[in-house]
Every structure is written in C-alpha cells, then in structure tokens.
Amino acid sequence: MTTATFAKGLEGIVAAETQMSYIDGQKGVLEYVGIPIGELSSNSTFEEVVFLLWNLRLPRADELKEFTAALRSNYMPPEGLIQRIGALPKTAQPMHALRTLISELALYDTTPNANDVDAARAKSIRILGMAPALVACFDRHRRGLPFVKPDTSLTFAQNFLYMLNGEAPTPTMARAFDICMILHADHGLNNSTFTARVIISTLSDVYSALTGAVGSLRGPLHGGANEGVMHMLNEIPNLEAVEPYVMGKIERHEKIMGFGHRVYKAKDPRATDLQKLAKKLAEDTGNSDLYAKSNAIEKIMEREVASKGIYPNVDFYSATTYHCIGLKLDLFTPMFALSRIAGWSGHVLEQLRDNRLFRPKAAYIGPHDAPYIPIAER
C-alpha cells in the first residue's frame, strides 16, 4: 500500500498541468504562454491577452478583430438580469452581487450544462463580456443612478469605466485599467483557479465553475487583500506617520497588507509594473501623497523583512492604482474578478481538454473503533 503524501494547504503539490502561465517565485518571473508579463503590459491589450491565454498563441489581426467583436456582442446582459440587479439590496457587497449574478446568467442560457470545449468557450466569452455590466449596473443601482447601456464601440476597459461613471474615461485612465486587467488575468494554480478546475472536473458547467471561483477570490487571503491595503493606507494620516505605524505592526507581529506571497520570494513582477503605473496616476490625479506613503512602506519593509523573502505583491500597488482611477474601495476585488475571469475560463478549457476528476485524500486523525454510547447514558 502506497503511503500518500500530506501537505497542509497542498503546499508544493503539483495538481495540474498548464500552458497558460509560468511563475518562478525565487526570481520574480511571471510569463503568459512564455511571454514576460512586462512585455504584455507594455505592448498588448486585455483582449489580446485573453486570446493568448485561451488559444496559447498571439492572434493574427483578423483573429483579434473577430474575437473582439464576439466579446463586444456579449456586453449587454439579458433584460431579466438587469431587472434583477435593480431588485438587489443596495446594502449588498459587490462581490456577493457578482457571484450571484454570474450564477443567474445560467438561467438565461438554453444549454447551460453543455461543457464540451467549444460550448465552454462560447459561455466564457458570454460571461466575460457581460461581467463589467453586472458590476457597473449594481454599483449604479446602489448609488441610485440609472443604468448606462454598454457601448460596443469601446474596448473592455473603456466600456466598463463608461458604464460605471456615465462618461468616457480619459485615455490615461482607460489604459491604466487595461494594464490592470492584463496583470491580473492569470496566475498559475492559485486558489480560485483551482476551485474552478475542481468544479469543472466533475463535468459540471462553466457558470458553476466561475461562480465558485468568485467565491474563492473574495477571501481576504486571496483577492480581497487589495482592500486591506487601502484600509491600511487610510489609517496612516501622513508620511511622517508611516515609520511608527509599520514598525509598530512589525513589533506586534501583525501582517502588513500587500506584502508576502505564497509563491514569490522576490518582488512580485506585477507589483513592479503596477508601481510605475501607480506613480504616474498619482501624479496625474493629485494623489502623490498616497503614492509617497506606499513607497515609504515598501522601503521600510525592504529594510526590515526583505531578507526573509517578504516583498510587495500585486495587491500593494493595485490598491493605489484603483483609488487613483476613482474606484470605490469595495470595487477593488471585483476588478480583480473581471480580469481573472479570463484565466479561470482558460483553465476550465484546459481542464476539459484532458479531464480527470479531482479526488484527493484526507488524512484521518480521529479515533478508531470507538463505542456507541446509548443516549440515556451520555
């Protein structure tokens, strides 16, 4: 009998093969289908990156045009779902709303359970295309504002900001958001991606897989961490207060939000790109003080804990970036979800191409041969 290996949290366990993203945590490397993330954030668009992840190659011009058209044709959710958004409690949290609405999208699909690769791809385009409207419409609903219909002449990034704010974004804002979408699109077998693959491995449906992934991402140890970074920055009144705040946290052995990563023992390469973006946006939007506090925190942490392999992760500078774009704090994690739908969907497609049901073992640590005690004697 072979003894199974136990690793708490599946630490170090290889549970799937992927061609989508490669991570070298020691060197701080992230690649999508072999292309360094910095190359893509500097030269590509979110739409092109989604095609790359789903097809494992960059598209030709005609292919990108066709893919973009398909995505834009799915910008508008069903009317029944729009009405449903208008009936949601205004006090609901956006991530809970998004999780619910992605699940409800299945109710408007005549073949919701079709899970061959072609059907899954079509459903993935549908969900990705509509997701920005789900978030934007819910946010406008809770603010008491009328819904803004999507504009199919706009890019994914432009269209979301247009629906959210009711006006076209500036080129700088749109490009900044597009870069954020690129940087968050995929990241190996992270918790939410693993969730999506586990669900689809039962030959369930794409809607269920992505609903589960949203639920996983919401956790503060995963995508919800970027909200914690902004809370931390808001707690620090000025630049002079950074040093005592951070040192106090370190002395009390409290976590500094946005630092440390399960995979990276060097600076997260996405954080490097976002830092440049956050600095420029902060200067352009009058938030230089916010960036200055972020930069000061990083310098202190580098001095105190970098030797332990603790560096800024993607959440640290994405918080500043989203704030400068003008997003409310509780929309930070939904932004992560909008992007990561691309990666989740790609992994669903990958899983379906060579599926095997996930069925790990659990190490039983309870008693054996215990007696049953009648209720009168307990």
pLDDT, tens digit (0-9, with 9 covering 90-100), for 164-182: 999 999 998 999 999 999 9
- Residue of 184, 187, 261, 323 with catalytic role: 261
In a domain, 48, yes or no: yes
Q: Picking from 11-20, 66-75, 211-220, which range would have the lowest pLDDT averaged per residue?
A: 11-20
Annotated active-site residue 354? The verdict is no
Cβ-Cβ contacts under 8 Å for 361 (sequence gap 6 or more): 4
Sign of CA dihedral 248, 277, 265, 332: positive
Q: Which two tokens stand for residue 180?
A: 């954020």
In a domain? residue 345: yes
d(CA 196, CA 288): 39
Report yes or no on 290 lying in a domain.
Answer: no
Query: Does 222 participate in catalysis according to the annotation?
Result: yes
Neighbours of 299 (CB within 10 A): 13
C-alpha closest to that of 316 among 270, 366, 370: 270
Q: In what order do the strands lie in the sheet with 21-24?
A: 21-24, 29-32, 35-36
**CA 127 to chain centroid:** 15
- Secondary structure element (H or E) that encloses residue 23, with its range: strand 21-24
Mean pLDDT along residues 39-54: 97
Residue 217 CA to residue 221 CA, distance in Å, equals: 8
Q: What gap in Å lies between CA 340 and CA 350, rounded to an integer?
A: 15
DSSP-derived letter for residue 49 is H
Q: Is 343 part of any domain?
A: yes
| Residue 150 CB-density burial (10 A; 0-12 exposed, 13-18 middle, 19+ buried) | buried
**Residue 141 falls in the annotated catalytic set:** no
Rounded Cα distance between 166 and 345, Å, is: 29
Q: In the chain, how many domains are there?
A: 1
* Whether pLDDT at 135 is above 50: yes
The pLDDT of residue 1 is 42
- On whether residue 240 sits in a domain, the answer given is no
Q: The domain that contains 195 carries what CATH number?
A: 1.10.580.10
Task: Identify the band that residue 2 occupies on the pLDDT scale cut at 50, 70 and 90.
Answer: low
* Percent above pLDDT 70 for the chain: 99
User: What are the Cα distances from residue 278, in Å, to 271, 288, 320, 321, 329?
Assistant: 10, 9, 6, 5, 16
Out of 105-109, 128-132, 223-227, least confident range: 223-227
Residue with tokens 């959210």: 164
Query: Which candidate in 139, 184, 315, 347 is catalytic?
Result: 315
Q: Is the pLDDT of residue 67 over 50?
A: yes
Domain with 201, as residue range(s), is: 36-153+186-219+338-353
Q: Does residue 239 have a pLDDT over 80?
A: yes
CB burial of 203-212 (b: ≥16 within 10 Å; e: otherwise) equals eebbbbbbbb
pLDDT tens, position by position, 298-351: 999 999 998 888 888 888 888 888 899 889 999 999 999 999 999 999 999 999
- The tens digit of pLDDT for each residue in 100-112 reads 999 999 999 999 9
**pLDDT bucket at 128, cuts 50 / 70 / 90:** very high
Contact 318, 180 (CB under 8 A): yes
- 377: in domain: no
**Distance from chain centroid for Cα 99:** 13
Q: Which of the residue ranges 8-17, 55-64, 71-80 would you say has the lowest mean pLDDT?
A: 8-17
179 part of a folded domain: no
Q: Which of 96, 222, 284, 330 is catalytic?
A: 222
Residue 191 within a domain: yes
For 7-23, what is each residue's pLDDT tens digit? 888 888 888 999 999 99
Chain-wide mean pLDDT for the chain?
93
How many other CB atoms are there within 10 angstroms of residue 178's CB atom? 23
